[in-house]
Structure 1
Amino acid sequence: MADVAEEFGRLYGYAPEGVWEAPGRVNLIGEHTDYNDGFVMPFALPHTAVAAFGRRTDTAVRAHSADLPGEPVVVAEPAPGTSAGWADYVASVVWALREAGHEVGGVDVHLASTVPTGAGLSSSAALEVVVALALNDLFGLGLERQELATLCQRAENVYVGAPTGIMDQTASACCTAGHALFLDTRDLTRRQVPFDLAAVGLRLLVVDTQVKHAHSEGEYGKRRAGCEAGAAELGVTALRDVPFTELPAALDRLSSAEIRGLVRHIVTENHRVERVISLLDAGDVRGIGPVLVEGHASLRDDFRVSCPELDLVVDSAVAAGALGARMTGGGFGGSAIVLVEEAAAGQVEKAVLEAFASRGLREPRVFTAVPGAGARRLR
């Protein structure tokens, strides 16, 4: 925190008014369901975006990242259609708040983040939420956490141009330590579900493959459009409205194998979220392992967003004794999660690293995910 504040002073010539942080997230189960009005279950990582802020006397935004060389990026008047690279994630939140009628002036920002980028761990949402929380405090807006998350989603959808759902921003803003967050993305009701793995002798590994396939963004949009087409063919508002028990009949009514796969994944994935909640409520944490593996198979075969590296993590981890594993995030690269017995964590990690090395692949980054706190002010 001191380093961020000190660097802010060096950059801008005055002390910041405060320092805030917001976390990245891992999604335990519920993938690609959030833009289908479905169920998700993320939890916050201890990895965070930390930012120091100061108010300006004009309406401009100056933003600097500790991870990038050079002078601060200046956005004189944030608006969709302009492009300031990474600083769009700052300027877009300022724009979204102003567009919603809130009186937000200009700011200077210095940011440092430990959330891995391109790993499917919501580094962009962490940045958006830390900006929103700081602006909320600095300008006395009085907005609730979910309101901030919803405005951050609008910033990313409209200003940045990424058609993301509401999960990532809500997780960063609303998660609590030691819990996974069950979120109904239709009505935004939330429940904190205890998820203390260490207490039952378990560990959840995150394996960042450090690969991102270039076609990911366009393919993400195609999946979303395909889900909307499937909902239209079935005459429902969203695929959330297709009951799990009626899935076989619904699939028979669809026009193509591609759309059938998308619909099957969304409906079964919502059911998997409900199964995981039931298991956790019953204290059967180990029982979620097979559900994770089922979820990966669905993402690989029906939704077709996995890739060889993610499949290799899951296959090698399960073969080495993991209780379960699946890709997490949008897919086409990024990260997988692996549920293991504490005593077996070392051998499973070793097996995954050896599997990558034997195929001449870049060594993945592996770390333990401990459910952390949501966004907060540090000083």
Structure 2
Amino acid sequence: MTRALLDEDRWQAVVQREAAQDGLFLYAVRTTGIYCRPSCPSRRPRRENVTFFEAADAAERAGFRPCRRCTPNEVHVRQAVVLQVQQLLDTAEPTPTLAQLAEAVGVSAFHLQRVFKAAVGVSPKQYAMARRAERLKRRLSEGASVTVALYDAGHASPRTLYDRATDQLGMSPGAYRAGGAGERIAFTVAESAQGPMLVAATARGLVAVRFGEADALERELRGEYPNAALERSAEAVGAYVEALQAHLAGVQRALPLASDAPGTAFQHRVWAALRDIPYGETRSYAQVAAMIGAPAAVRAVARACATNPLALVVPCHRVVRSGGALSGYRWGVERKRALLERERAEVVGQVGAAP
């Protein structure tokens, strides 16, 4: 990407006040001598008066001073603390306590807890747990024994993992290591108004609802669970398919379907919030972050949306950029546009038909 194109993308983020871009760059206004973060609530300057910087110190070396409304220098200091703590949690063994982390970065434990949760969406302890789960999945996928994988991932004992296995892995560690061995997953690829739709579920609930090419969808599922007892059965998941097709036809707006999809505590919080977005409406990533009580965790919310395994059931298509512009969608932006346009049209049509 050329510098001109990069700056144009940055300018669009400034125009739309995208909080997700805070911390990625700063903009400075030549006529005022002030620099701000992208989401600053101040009036937008003229494009020709704006220049961009990667960090606060670079802006200040160029003669700009920080905005008093959005305090961009403080934002970057807080982000530096958060990044340092994340690095410690990613690499230190054993996992440092909150007090040890606070001492390492030179702030109080209370301040660290508050700043970290505001930026990341979870506490340092919850972040460490999620990272352990990721390391565990990687080691199990590489073929390590359950015991070795547990200790390599940083678990003090098998008990600490098994207490959380259902939520984080969706199955026992042994079954995950064996590619889902012992798990029974029924699935089908059905036609829908949005093209081929894969629907897969265990006895506990849905594990996947995806759009795409039929053969590719099945290959992807089998790649994730190579040793599970995968059964292609339209009958076994028929109730799910019927509800999803009725939803796409506008007959059934709510989708209170059971989920057995694995995920971290933060992902499940985001996915639960998405299910609360009314049919025919949208929310920005910043609004979703506020809904879960983590207003600064906009980028983490975006990542949770991008990894959503249950299309429609968890309606991540209803999340857009600040200002209403469409952002990426795991199953294609055009499909996202079509879903939103259909929902809006049905809501408007219902209002217009009301006596």
Into which bin does the TM-score normalised by the smaller protein fall? under 0.3
Q: Which one has more relative contact order, counting CA pairs under 8 Å at least 6 apart?
A: 1
Greater share of strand: 1
Structure of higher CA gyration radius: 2
User: How does the TM-score come out when normalised to structure 2?
Assistant: 0.26
Greater share of helix: 2
User: How does the TM-score come out when normalised to structure 1?
Assistant: 0.25
